[in-house]
């Protein structure tokens, strides 16, 4: 029985881990906040990207029920000082389940762009905030988050209609000054679960099946014991 319970628990844990990759951020109340972490990658020499990592915290400040939502952001460079001494995180991007019609940004990443292509072959993205003033998501101008100082500020998204709930997903970050000589660049994607994120419906169904299996396994011996007492 213990083996069966253990197997059920492992299956459920595996399903919850799978849900992390499909997680998305749901903002439906002012004050909602999420933090997620990123890896780092690029092309060419893999050692150039060793130790790249970062963390992004978003908080919805205001706007639920209107057509303009304002967020604060804090983008931290958590890369290894030993392998990425000069690295900077120069921007982040995301997709939205509600069409974005415009936006503005202030602070360290004050270059807001929407409906652009994210670098390192990652394809189109609904919106990005970067340092510099380029008409893309590349970042630049020597700004961004260093390992000593995070990139902070606010941004506002505008929509065609009032928004009661906003889903943001598929977050990416941009790195520059990568490698020991600081001459490379790269990108990063989410690597961990997001607190409060919502698993896909199919994942919920599988989780319920897993927990139901565990419950049924735990109940069966007790019922057999009750039957033995009743007929003895």
**pLDDT digit string (tens) for 63-72?**
999 999 999 9
pLDDT at 144: 95
Tokens of 162: 């009032």
| Residues 177 and 138: beta-carbon distance below 8 Å | no
Is the distance from CB of 99 to CB of 117 less than 8 angstroms? no
Tens-place pLDDT, residues 149-196: 999 999 999 999 999 999 999 999 999 999 999 999 999 999 855 444
Tell me what pLDDT residue 131 has: 94
Nearest alpha-carbon partner for 78 in 59, 41, 58, 51: 51
Encoding tokens for residue 68?
A: 């303009």
Strands (E), the chain: 25-27, 33-38, 54-62, 66-77, 88-96, 102-107, 111-118, 123-130, 151-163, 166-178, 184-189
As beta bridge partners, residue 167 has: 26
Q: What percent of the chain stands above pLDDT 90? A: 65
The residues pairing with 169 across neighbouring beta strands, listed in sequence order, are 95
Q: Where residue 5 falls among pLDDT bands split at 50, 70, 90? A: very low
3-class secondary-structure state, position 182: coil
C-alpha closest to that of 198 among 69, 27, 63: 27
Q: Which pLDDT score, from 0 to 100, does residue 9 have?
A: 42
pLDDT digits (tens, 9 = 90+) for 87-111: 999 999 999 999 999 999 999 999 9
């Amino acid at each position: 029985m213990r083996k069966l319970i253990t197997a059920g628990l492992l299956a459920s844990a595996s399903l919850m881990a799978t849900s992390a990759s499909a997680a998305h951020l749901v903002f439906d109340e002012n004050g909602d906040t999420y933090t997620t972490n990123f890896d780092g990658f690029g092309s060419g020499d893999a050692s150039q990207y060793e130790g790249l990592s970062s963390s992004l915290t978003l908080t919805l400040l205001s706007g639920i029920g209107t057509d303009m939502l304002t967020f604060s952001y804090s983008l931290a460079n958590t890369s290894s000082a030993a392998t990425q001494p000069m690295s900077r995180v120069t921007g982040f991007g995301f997709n939205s389940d509600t069409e974005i019609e415009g936006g503005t940004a202030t602070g360290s990443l004050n270059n807001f762009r929407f409906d652009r292509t994210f670098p390192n072959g990652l394809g189109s993205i609904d919106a990005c905030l970067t340092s510099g003033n380029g008409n893309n998501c590349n970042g630049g101008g020597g700004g961004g988050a260093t390992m000593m100082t995070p990139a902070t500020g606010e941004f506002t998204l505008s929509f065609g209609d009032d928004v009661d709930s906003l889903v943001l997903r598929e977050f990416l970050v941009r790195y520059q000054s990568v490698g020991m000589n600081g001459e490379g660049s790269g990108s990063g994607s989410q690597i961990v679960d997001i607190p409060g994120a919502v698993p896909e419906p199919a994942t919920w169904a599988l989780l319920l099946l897993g927990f139901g299996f565990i419950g049924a396994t735990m109940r069966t011996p007790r019922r057999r014991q009750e039957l033995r007492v009743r007929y003895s």
